[in-house]
Amino acid sequence: MTEPVGVIERLLEELTKLPGIGPKSAERIAHFLAGDRQHAVRLADALHSVADSVRPCRECFNLTDGELCPVCSDPKRDAGLLCVVETPRDVSSFERAGTFRGLYHVLGGRLAPLEGLGPERLTLTALVQRVRKGGVREVILATSPTLEGDGTALFASNLLAPTGVTVTRLARGLPSGSSLELANAQMLADALEGRRTF
């Protein structure tokens, strides 16, 4: 038999690895779940579904539970406009803002040479292939307004240059040094509206 204490400790250990959950919150959640079987089972079920079915979209690398994400499978979206972002959370930020009607390309992070994160870790090759397939008029580089985000955008624009596609960058005005997640809907809409050629 497993010791009940060990079980809770294991849960605490996993909870504290989650972003935004400190030891105190982890303890609160763990004890709440330990005392509410129905809730614990529903949460476990939801976590299983995520683990089993969520994967990168075949086209844009956004997270989805199908072959294509909801954005890529929407025929009303403008396939000529590609917005390049770092993470699936950035896609959510733009979608919440609700003004962008094109498609996305999720890089899977940004270049961080000092941490050994090179271009091979990102979906840059797939991005160039997507553009080469044709039908894309403009690529909007919407990496975060940080040194690394700017570096990633510059790198991507150099890779895209031989394809002849128009490459733009979000307008400044987003809080510098932060991630897109912190920008509100209006700020994102303005940054998109005021984008300029790279």
∠ CA 145-69-54 to the nearest 5 degrees? 95
Restricting to residues 88-147, name those near Zn ion by CB under 5 A: none
Closest CB to Zn ion among residues 69, 153? 69
Return the range that interacts with Zn ion (CB under 5 A); candidates 33-41, 71-79, 121-129, 176-184: 71-79
By CB under 5 A, how many residues form the interface with Zn ion?
6
Among 26, 30, 62, 174, binds Zn ion (CB under 5 A): 62
Return the range that interacts with Zn ion (CB under 5 A); candidates 34-42, 52-60, 116-124, 125-133: 52-60
Least Å from the CB of residue 132 to Zn ion: 18
Dist. CA 47–CA 171, nearest whole Å: 38
Among 11, 26, 30, 60, binds Zn ion (CB under 5 A): 60
Closest CB to Zn ion among residues 9, 78? 78
Q: Is 84 in the site for Zn ion (CB under 5 A)?
A: no
Q: Could you say which DSSP state residue 65 is in?
A: S
Dist. CA 47–CA 39, nearest whole Å: 12
Widest Cα–Cα separation across the chain: 65
Dist. CA 128–CA 150, nearest whole Å: 18
3-state secondary structure of 117: strand
**Do 159 and 137 touch, CB atoms closer than 8 A?**
no
Closest CB to Zn ion among residues 28, 55? 55
Residue found under tokens 């040479």:
113
Binding site for Zn ion (CB under 5 A): 57, 59-60, 62, 69, 72
